[in-house]
Amino acid sequence: MSTNVSLLNRITHYLVNRKGKQMRPMFVFLVAKMLNNGEVSERAYRGASVIELIHTASLVHDDVVDDSNRRRGFFSINALWKNKIAVLVGDYLLSKGMLLCIDNNDFDLLKIISVAVREMAEGELLQIEKARLLDIDEAVYFSIIRKKTATLIAACCSLGAASVKPNTNEVDQMRHFGELIGIAFQIKDDLFDYGEERIGKPTGIDIKEQKMTLPLIHVLNTVSEKEHDWLINSIKNHNKNPKRVKEVIKLVKERGGLDYAVSKMKEFQQQALEILDKYPPSDHKNSLKLMVNYVIDRKK
Ligand code: FPP
Ligand code: MG
């Protein structure tokens, strides 16, 4: 990652020292191992590296988009170096990821990753469009999270498969497996926003950003017209008022919004586990099961 530009080197050091849970590369390796008797190839290492680079790029850009000043328990890049620099650092990480594939002729992996990047950008834009119109329903919510989050975890699992078993059905099967985990992952992430736990990034900001997520969408569909209008008015006109946002959160909790989101999340978890059931027993399959359950049980 090192370059002649010392500013860039300082920032990449900062990023490397604050790495996250590295769940995505773990999915690449575990899928590759489950499908290939515990062996991984060089391609799996490169694929895992590319995924982590692209993921980091997307978070650096996302914190600009969301104007968020915390990430992984520390200041975000935009908080420390401002938006201009954060946008360019994101671009740099993205191009380094792409080049790692190109320089090694991993064009099949590059395709998987490029589709994910395109879908993430589409998902973020769809989310902005819907936040402006405040007309998001469950189908749109699932479409947003499938694109902005699940597509990259789907890419991890299909890339893990493609790294050891290119051009097989396993690549599509594992893509589907990853997509289910990714949807559950984002529902969990959206549930954190309703909590007060310290998770390394701000909570309670989705409503402020007029981002409507599953707990709120469900409650909007089930409450009286009066409460529905109060909720919409709160999000439309009082989203920057912390007291009003707290009242919205309280109502969503009282009306079972969180319980509903948890039950939906568990449906996706079960579907993912059912796909794993089709594979013969192995240590790596067990580890993947642990990972699926971790996505749902994690504390940050
Ligand atoms: C986090 O969502 C953000 C994403 C899952 C995707 C971000 C994608 C882009 C900005 C476009 C792709 C860009 C590149 C360079 C690959 P969130 O804001 O709901 O979650 P958070 O609470 O972690 O911020
Ligand atoms: Mg964000």
Is there a domain that residue 192 lies in? yes
Residue 207 has phi, psi (to 5 degrees) of: -65, -40
Q: What residues does 151 pair with on adjacent strands?
A: none
Is there a domain that residue 237 lies in? yes
CA of 116 to the centre of ligand 1 (A): 12
Whole-angstrom Cα distance, residue 83 to residue 86?
5
Is there a domain that residue 2 lies in? no
User: How do residues 49-66 score in pLDDT, each as one tens digit?
Assistant: 999 999 999 999 999 998
pLDDT at 134: 85
User: For atom 14 of ligand 1, which residue has the closest CA?
Assistant: 58
The residue type at 31: V
Asked if 183 contacts 123 with a C-beta cutoff of 8 angstroms, the reply is no
50 C-beta closer than 6 A to ligand 1: no
Whole-angstrom Cα distance, residue 64 to residue 57?
11
61 C-beta closer than 6 A to ligand 1: yes
The residue type at 278: K
pLDDT at 35: 97
pLDDT at 29: 98
Is there a domain that residue 289 lies in? no
Nearest bound ligand to CA 93? 1
Most ligand 1 atoms within 8 A of CB, residue of 53, 76, 148 to mutate? 148
Is there a domain that residue 1 lies in? no
Is there a domain that residue 300 lies in? no
Is there a domain that residue 287 lies in? no
Q: Give the residue numbers spanning the domain of 116.
A: 7-278
97 C-beta closer than 6 A to ligand 1: no
Q: Which helix or strand (DSSP H or E) is residue 68 part of?
A: none
Asked if 20 contacts 58 with a C-beta cutoff of 8 angstroms, the reply is no
Domain count, the chain: 1
Q: What is the mean pLDDT of each run of 10 residues along the chain (300 residues)?
A: 94 91 95 96 95 96 93 94 98 97 96 97 93 88 97 98 95 98 97 84 83 95 95 94 93 96 98 96 96 90
Q: Which of 63, 50, 155, 64 is nearest to 93 (CA)?
A: 50
Is there a domain that residue 297 lies in? no
SS3 167: coil
pLDDT at 132: 83
Where residue 45 sits, what CATH number does that domain have? 1.10.600.10
pLDDT at 202: 72
SS3 198: coil
Q: Which of 83, 76, 3, 19 is nearest to 51 (CA)?
A: 19
Whole-angstrom Cα distance, residue 93 to residue 112?
17
201 C-beta closer than 6 A to ligand 1: yes
Report, in this order, helix, strand and coil percent for the chain, each rounded to 5: 75, 0, 25
Cα-based angle 270, 274, 276 (whole degrees, multiple of 5): 120
CA of 68 to the centre of ligand 2 (A): 7
pLDDT at 200: 78
